[in-house]
Amino acid sequence: MSTMHRELPPHIAQRAQRVFRLARSRLAKERLLYLQRESVQAADHVRRVAQDLHSLADTNYAGSRSAQTAKELEALAGSLSQLSTDLERPFLLFVVGMGKFGKSTLINALLGQRVAAMDALPKTWKIDVFTSTLPEDIAEIRTYDGRVERMPVPDAMNLIADEERRREASEEKVWELFQEQARELSSVTERELLRQELELLHLYRSPIVEVKWPVRAGAITSYFDVVDTPGLWQERPGRERLADRPNNGSTPSPGAGASADSQPFSLVSSEDLRSYYLQADGVLWMLDATKLAAGKPQELMSDLNAALSRVGGVTQNAVAVLNRIDLVRRNGGDEAVMRVIDQARRLLADTFQHIVPVSAREALEAREAGDEQQLERSGLPELLAIIDQRFRISGADVRWWSKSEGRRQYLQEVRAVSIRYRQELSDAERVLQEKDAAAKRHMQSLEKRAHQSLSEVLSEYKVAVRSRIQLKATYVLKMDESSRHEYLEEKIFQVHDLKTGLEKLQIALQKEYGEAFARLVPQQQFTAFRYVAPPPLLLSLAGASPNEDLSSIYVTTEDLELPSDLAITGVISVLGASILGPVGLVLGPLLSGTVQDYFASRHERKLQQRLERQLEVIVTSAREAFQEAIGELSRDYEGRLRDVREHSFAQVHVPTSKVSAVLDNMSELRGVAEQTTPAPVMKDLLLVPWLRQQQSRRRTDNKEVIA
Ligand SMILES: Nc1nc2c(ncn2[C@@H]2O[C@H](COP(=O)(O)OP(=O)(O)O)[C@@H](O)[C@H]2O)c(=O)[nH]1
Ligand SMILES: [Mg+2]
């Protein structure tokens, strides 16, 4: 049997085409609405969590991990909202690439006007959008928090110049601090970490993320906003990467020999870079043709792959532009050009659908001179044709793809951030418990030693008094009542000695506790920095001590040799001098009248026993009072350590009482990033409603028949 092809009758074919076109445009609309709705919803949720976290974070502390995480989430929420807003803008055509070999020049050539600064190396990361949607001579500045401001072009230029200067000054500062502090560090990893910490603390980050510049309306601007970007990677002008600089005086290791200047670096983190890149609807990816002509295809590919991995590997919406083809032609003629193009097609077949060789410089010159022949040779007309085909005619589909991919990657980032911080916070909580246990252990062993010392002092005293009782009780019996009192106190019990002994012990214990505290503080303190000295932890401990009234000796922070960054206000309380009160009380009745009988009976043996019992009473009551004071001292210092621990934990993360709430928020956020409703497809829009329509029609038909 053979399949028969029958032409549809023309009126049916026409109708089918119309229906199909209608369906497509309805689908496109539905998809955009879906994308907007989903992005806005996700953005709202992420923003809510970020704000919660922000309100708990100590935002004054430069090392606050929770504040940093909140910022990251806020930025992602911003990207998701922006994505939704961008759907109402003209198609965003980004020009990106490594290094500086013609992005801005190409933009000027495409627009036919010199609007993008050429030979410029921006220090701050922002995108420059050239658009014909603005009033004449008015620029529009957008900051990372979504605020938008319009101003005259010259004002915008001044503002940007100021931002560049601030950034440069902060780079200087980082550089100076690094030179000072890196001397101690020998390994590259340590130096790199130090650099990161210094940059985190001191590098100025401009809030400006986008500037729209007005351009004359022309062919390309009727469909596209053209976007200039700083190099995905660029070479640091004039200065080496800090971490690569060899240590003072030492010789650089072999292999580090290549000038550090040739090391590419990025102005922004991979995450930031990705969030910019994902705003693009379509991308012109600039590559350097001279790399291939010079026989360096591996270099070109490894640079490309490194850059691609930083932007999430998205190329389905990108066209490769092989620039500086004029230099290849000048050196090797048309044959070299063909060779380079062939090689590029082979190397890049998997990455880019289209590869267009151009000379941006020639294109710009030709457009300005009106030289049609040179323009043709520059490759610009071919590039324009491809831009038209891919980004205008198939624009809606490309945009849908780009924005869906953007949303997917933003959500993935949200997920990664929430998983990471959840882990970090629960690890920190575990460390908090470990530190707590360690502090308790230290305090217990201190307390144990204090008790031992106390026992030693008391038993020494006991031995001494007992031997005096043995030796001198006889004299007491011979004395008259008036001298007896003094003799007992000064020659037998020698209460003064006991007082001195206990006072000495008291001073020794204060010193020991103080030193232990100073030693334990750095171990108990949380900090986000390894190499940079953390900002001061201000603890207000005044009034925290329960036995402040008892304090007779004040130990100040100088005595304790505390780390200078730990400023404790107030006084460290000590064992009160009044602890010796009970000793006095015990001696009182002893000396006044209760033992008169023994003296009267002149019973030496009994008197000795009685005095020894009194000695027991004195020692026991001194021990009890002193032990209680030791307990109080330990609890007091334990409380101080808890303050250090929990204050610094709250600085780096959130107050300990909020940890579980934050952990829950992070888990929930991860869920939000994972569950997404599927995008509408054709059958949702057409088939189902159509079937329903058919069914209901059939039902009404049937009813009519029955009737
Ligand atoms: N020979 C040649 N030079 C070019 C070409 N395109 C750009 N350049 C030059 O490369 C330098 C950097 O160009 P620019 O557009 O500022 O690069 P960007 O940093 O990527 O924006 C400028 O001096 C341009 O004149 C080209 O196609 N051929
Ligand atoms: Mg440029």
Q: What is the pLDDT of residue 500?
A: 84
Per the prediction, the chain carries an average pLDDT of: 81
Instruction: Give the CA angle between residues 387, 390, 394 to the nearest 5°.
Output: 135
CA 652 to chain CA centroid, Å, is: 10
| CB distance 329 to ligand 1 below 6 Å | no
CATH topology of domain 89-246+260-410: Rossmann fold (3.40.50)
Which ligand is located closest to the Cα atom of residue 105?
1
Q: How many angstroms separate the alpha carbon of residue 324 from the centre of ligand 1? A: 8
**Are the beta carbons of 110 and 384 closer than 8 angstroms?**
yes
pLDDT in tens, 65-102: 999 999 999 989 999 999 999 988 999 999 998 878 89
| CB distance 105 to ligand 1 below 6 Å | yes
Q: What is the pLDDT of residue 687?
A: 58
In angstroms, what is the C-alpha Rg of the chain?
Answer: 41
Q: How many angstroms separate the alpha carbon of residue 99 from the centre of ligand 2? A: 9
Regarding predicted confidence, which is higher, 487 or 43?
43
Q: Please choose from 127, 361, 362, 364 the residue to mutate so as to test ligand 1's pocket, defined by most ligand atoms within 8 A of CB.
A: 361
Q: How many angstroms separate the alpha carbon of residue 122 from the centre of ligand 1? A: 15
Q: What is the pLDDT of residue 251?
A: 35
| CB distance 103 to ligand 1 below 6 Å | yes
Residue ranges matching CATH 3.40.50.300 in the chain: 89-246+260-410
Q: What is the mean pLDDT of residues 674-679?
A: 71
| CB distance 118 to ligand 1 below 6 Å | yes
Q: What is the pLDDT of residue 346?
A: 94
pLDDT in tens, 124-158: 889 999 999 999 999 999 998 789 999 999 999 99
Q: Please choose from 96, 103, 105 the residue to mutate so as to test ligand 1's pocket, defined by most ligand atoms within 8 A of CB.
A: 105
**Are the beta carbons of 150 and 139 closer than 8 angstroms?**
yes
Identify the residue whose C-alpha is closest to ligand 1 atom 17: 102
Q: How many angstroms separate the alpha carbon of residue 388 from the centre of ligand 1? A: 24
Highest-pLDDT range among 271-280, 352-361, 609-618: 352-361
**Are the beta carbons of 488 and 608 closer than 8 angstroms?**
no
pLDDT(674) > 50: yes
Q: What is the pLDDT of residue 369?
A: 96
**Are the beta carbons of 528 and 65 closer than 8 angstroms?**
yes
pLDDT in tens, 214-268: 999 988 999 999 999 988 776 554 444 444 443 333 333 333 333 333 445 556 6
Q: Which of 179-188, 324-333, 489-498, 561-570 has the lowest mean pLDDT?
A: 561-570
Regarding predicted confidence, which is higher, 414 or 703?
414
Q: What is the pLDDT of residue 423?
A: 97
Q: What is the mean pLDDT of residues 174-185?
A: 88
| Strand (E) or helix (H) holding 148 | strand 148-152
Percent of the residues in the chain that have a pLDDT greater than 90, as a whole number: 43
Q: Please choose from 94, 95, 100, 101 the residue to mutate so as to test ligand 1's pocket, defined by most ligand atoms within 8 A of CB.
A: 101
**DSSP E strands, 237-309:** 264-265, 282-288
Torsion angle, CA of 76/78/82/84, rounded to 10 degrees? 80
Identify the residue whose C-alpha is closest to ligand 1 atom 14: 102
Regarding predicted confidence, which is higher, 121 or 210?
210
Q: Which residues surround ligand 2, an ion (CB under 5 A)?
A: 103-104
Name the 3-class secondary structure at 140. strand
Which ligand is located closest to the Cα atom of residue 360?
1
Regarding predicted confidence, which is higher, 394 or 587?
394
**Buried b or exposed e, range 53-82, using 16+ CB within 10 angstroms:** bbebbbeebbbbbbbbbbbbbbbbbbbbbb
pLDDT in tens, 8-59: 788 888 888 888 778 777 887 888 888 899 999 999 999 999 999 999 998 7
**Are the beta carbons of 327 and 289 closer than 8 angstroms?**
yes
Q: How many angstroms separate the alpha carbon of residue 228 from the centre of ligand 2? A: 7
Q: Please choose from 118, 227, 288, 359 the residue to mutate so as to test ligand 1's pocket, defined by most ligand atoms within 8 A of CB.
A: 118
Regarding predicted confidence, which is higher, 130 or 673?
130
Identify the residue whose C-alpha is closest to ligand 1 atom 24: 102
| CB distance 326 to ligand 1 below 6 Å | yes
Q: How many angstroms separate the alpha carbon of residue 125 from the centre of ligand 1? A: 19
pLDDT(580) > 50: no
pLDDT(454) > 90: yes
Angle between helices 659-674 and 395-478 (to 10 degrees): 160
Q: What is the pLDDT of residue 150?
A: 98
Q: Could you tell me which residues come within 8 angstroms of residue 274 by beta carbon, excluding any fewer than 6 positions away?
A: 310, 311, 312, 409, 413
- What are 10's two structure tokens? 């023309």
| CB distance 323 to ligand 1 below 6 Å | yes
Residue 626: pLDDT band (50, 70, 90) is: confident
Q: DSSP code of 231? A: -
Which ligand is located closest to the Cα atom of residue 107?
1
pLDDT(333) > 90: yes
Percent of the residues in the chain that have a pLDDT greater than 70, as a whole number: 80
DSSP 684-703: HHTHHHHHHHHHHHHHHHHH
- Measured from the CA of 360, which atom of ligand 1 is nearest? 27
- Measured from the CA of 105, which atom of ligand 1 is nearest? 15
Does this model's pTM top 0.75? My answer is yes
Regarding predicted confidence, which is higher, 270 or 465?
465
Which residue matches tokens 């780079």? Answer: 171
- Measured from the CA of 327, which atom of ligand 1 is nearest? 1
Q: What is the mean pLDDT of residues 679-704?
A: 65
Q: What is the pLDDT of residue 701?
A: 63
Highest-pLDDT range among 29-38, 187-196, 434-443, 571-580: 434-443
Residues comprising the chain, all counted: 707
| CB distance 210 to ligand 1 below 6 Å | no
pLDDT in tens, 517-534: 889 988 898 887 777 765
- Measured from the CA of 363, which atom of ligand 1 is nearest? 27
| CB distance 82 to ligand 1 below 6 Å | no
pLDDT in tens, 348-385: 999 999 999 999 999 999 999 999 999 999 999 999 99
Highest-pLDDT range among 196-205, 383-392, 515-524, 625-634: 383-392
Q: How many angstroms separate the alpha carbon of residue 118 from the centre of ligand 1? A: 7
pLDDT(579) > 70: no
